[in-house]
Structure 1
Amino acid sequence: MSGMRNTHLSYSRLSRFESCPLSYQLHYLDKHTAEPGIPLSFGKALHSVLERLLQDVIDTEYAGPLSEERALQLYREAWTAEGLSGLDLFQQGLCILQDFVRQQGRVDARDILAIEKEFRLPVGPFTVLGFIDRVDWVDDETVHVIDYKSNHQLFSRDELDASLQLSLYSLAARRLWPWAKRVRLSMWMLRHGVLQETTRTEEQLEAALAYVETLGQQMESSEAFPARLNPNCVHCDHRRHCPAYARALTGQRSVVCEDASDLESVAREREEVSHLAKILTARKAELEEVLRAHLTAKEELVLAGTRYRMFNTTSLDYPLEPTVEVLARATGLSRDELVQHLASVDKKSLDALLKDAGKRLGSARVALLKAELGSLATKHHSPRFWAKEVA
């Protein structure tokens, strides 16, 4: 590897180069100090807690339920280490960890093959270095690779099946546990309490290896590393050093469609505007947080010809039974008629209730209950515009 830019490859290096060559240059070649945002630090804190929580299980050869008290202790330590702040975010993390402990249920040290398992995978002239969050024994022919994610959104089936990260993990698991004939792959979506599972075929793994080697060669031979605006720019830990990000903050655009019949031009401008809108919205939120901090001590601020105040908005929720009773007296309609007109159950509230009920009923009973309730639900469909970048 002497004379090469990269002493090794990793999924992080590959994905950074893939999404924005300039970010890769700033991070790995120019060695700029990273400025991780809150989502990254929050995710690291959660990962640290889960790693140490399950490492305790392995070290003590424990079998039984995980401890919420131990999770809270580790969370406090990780929260401080990452320099996080804010009650709302702290509570989010606490709820995520409590849900994880409950969903995990009983653990057995004998079923956990590895935590934060390092692997080195030869790919052509390169070595891919990585760490797998967790690997469980399923049976004498199967291992289960698990990667923890704190994303707000679930992955689509296409994203899951095409994930380069999971492909690398599958290849690594085969080398680390050669007796395993099957490798299950899961993203444990911590905010949702969902394991999104997939597998890989031999053809998919061969394609992943070829792609990694191709990207590696591009990283070695590239002479220019242009910035590439994308949806992740607002989270980039080098955005302060990026000229494209600086231009985006001013709203500058490089593509303006002059002919609406030129659909390629329409699409290019639409994507650029979409990226700019996300960057500007995130910047607006950052600036508002600064103003909010000063408004806590004052009733209002007058700055740059604009008056800023904090105010409360009010929404009304009508309790079902008293409301129906009043309406029944006033309209002469029966309770059943009124309920038929007025009452429906909010999906978010129902999901929260079922999640809480799962602690008592068990996951199998809740799954049946969800199916039964789903058959009662009225489904509404409306057209929505959807867009996703393709390679």
Structure 2
Amino acid sequence: MTVTVETNATLAQAPEPAAEPAQAPRRPSLSPSRAADFKTCPLLYRFRTIDRLPERKSLAAVRGTLVHSVLERLYDLPAAQRTVEGALELLEPAWVELREEPGVAELFEVAQGEGAETDVNAPESLEAWLASAGKLVERYFTLEDPRRIEPEGREELVEVTLPDGLLLRGYVDRLDVARNGALRVVDYKTGSMPREAFESKALFQMKFYALVLWRTRGVVAAQLKLIYLGDGDALTYAPDEEELLRFERTLLAIWSAIERAVSTGDFRPNKTRLCGWCDHQAVCPAFGGTPPPFPAEAAAAAGWRTPLAIVEAD
């Protein structure tokens, strides 16, 4: 819009305020974790993504967040200062920030309360818990020398819209680019490396990132690297274009199944041994619970094609 301002000795006309740019309509997206949720249990996907039911934080998950934060900040230091000692000095300030997040400080009150239910192998004190996080940070240095690495990105959002309109989004722990342009995608895990039979499940997330990077940069990642700090091991993999094309078709099939479930409000539970770690058993039919009514209005507002949206369109 062109605005003309006329001014003379007796009159000054202020320009009209520029109209605010229209916001793009919200639309759903698919991330590695949400795709994995739907594959594991469609009802879990609904509870987390559409209902957004609250979930308890766990000591293990918070420790993972803390260690990730330290390893991200480590690369803010000059290369010569990226030592074990330098990394451990980052632990306390990272914890000071993390404990301000809702529900984090309370975790330790619960873990140490008399008769309270706690995580398996919960530490006896905050000091012991912080020490366990420090051990994971120390172990990182047995797997890589950060003084020799200059990442292009850390905790970097990568996203792409596929030709059919599916928006893929995810955060990469670390992205390295060699002088010849070769890409390496790195993800930190605070657990132990899975057995060979479960490696494909572990690599699902990494192939997701590789697909997005291929579609945005036109380069297939030379290496996908999962670093397991729990046991000091690493899993590496080199994808190719054919495999990424197959993986893209897999994601499109998952997305089609999600859209069908949203359009009908029909998300089925899938009872597995993982149910023991789920916070939603009280509202899960597999455990005698009743799910809350499907939030069609909220889902439609978030861009989903729900039963409500379909009726209104008709």
Query: Which category describes the TM-score, using the shorter chain as reference length?
Result: 0.5 to 0.7
Task: Give CA deviations for 1:331-358 in whole Å, capped at 9, x if unaligned.
Answer: xxxxxxxxxxxxxxxxxxxxxxxxxxxx
Q: Distance in 2 between matches of 1:14 and 1:49?
A: 27
Partner of 1:114: 153
Amino acid at match of 1:50: L
One of 23, 44, 55 as aligned partner of 1:34: 55
Gaps of 5+ in 1: 248-391
Residue type of the partner of 1:190?
A: L
Asked if 1 retains the 8 angstrom alpha-carbon contact of 2:222 and 2:238, the reply is yes
The 5 A counterparts of 1:274-285 are none
1:229 paired to 2:271: yes
Deviation by residue 1:97-127 (Cα, 9 ceiling, x = unmatched): 1222454334256x21110111112233210
- Number of residues paired by the alignment? 238
Q: 195, 198, 204: which is aligned to 1:164?
A: 204
Q: Match of 1:65?
A: 82
Cα deviation digits, residues 56-98 of structure 1 (max 9, x gap) = 23xxx54453313423324532563433534343322121112
Moved more, 229-238 or 7-16: 229-238
Tell me how large the CA RMSD over aligned residues is: 2.8
Q: State the shift of 1:231 in Å.
A: 2.8
Counterpart code for 1:104: E
Partner of 1:50: 71
Aligned to 2:136: 96
List runs of 5+ in structure 2 lacking aligned partners: 1-23, 109-122, 290-314
The 2-side partners of 1:221 and 1:181 are apart by 31
Tell me if structure 1 keeps the 8 A contact 2:42–2:268. Answer: yes
Q: Which residue matches 2:246?
A: 207
Higher relative contact order (CA 8 A, sep 6+): 2
How far 1:210 sits from its partner (Å)? Answer: 0.5
- Report the AA paired with residue 44 of structure 2: S
Tell me if the contact between 1:120 and 1:172 (Cα under 8 Å) persists in the aligned partners.
yes
How far apart in 2 are the matches of 1:39 and 1:27? Answer: 19
Q: What is the identity, as a one-letter code, of the residue corresponding to 2:183?
A: V
Residues 215-240 of structure 1, C-alpha deviations (whole Å, 9 max, x = no match): 11111112311211223223334344
* Shift, 1:141, TM fit: 3.8
**Structure having the larger proportion of residues in helix:** 1
Question: Offset at 1:134?
Answer: 0.3
1:224-373 alignment to 2 at 5 Å? 224-245=266-287
- The answer on whether the counterparts of 1:161 and 1:198 sit within 8 Å (CA) in structure 2 is no
d(CA) in 2 for partners of 1:225, 1:240 = 16
C-alpha distance in 1, partners of 2:259/2:28?
11
Following superposition, the deviation at residue 245 of structure 1 comes to 4.1
Q: Tell me the CA shift for residue 46 of structure 1.
A: 1.9
Instruction: Give 2:176's aligned amino acid.
Output: D
> Which whole-Å deviations, capped at 9, do the CAs of 1:156-197 have from their partners, x for residues lacking one?
34533453211111122334554x565200111011122211
- Paired with 2:168 and 2:238, the residues of 1 have a C-alpha distance of 20
Is the Cα–Cα contact under 8 Å of residues 213 and 220 in structure 2 kept in the other structure?
A: no
Q: Percent identity?
A: 21
Aligned residue among 188, 194, 213 for 2:227: 188
Taking structure 1 as reference, are residues 241 and 155 closer, same or farther at Cα in structure 2, changes over 3 Å only?
A: same
Instruction: Tell me the distance in 1 between the aligned counterparts of 2:257 and 2:79.
Output: 47
SS at 1:31's partner residue?
Answer: coil
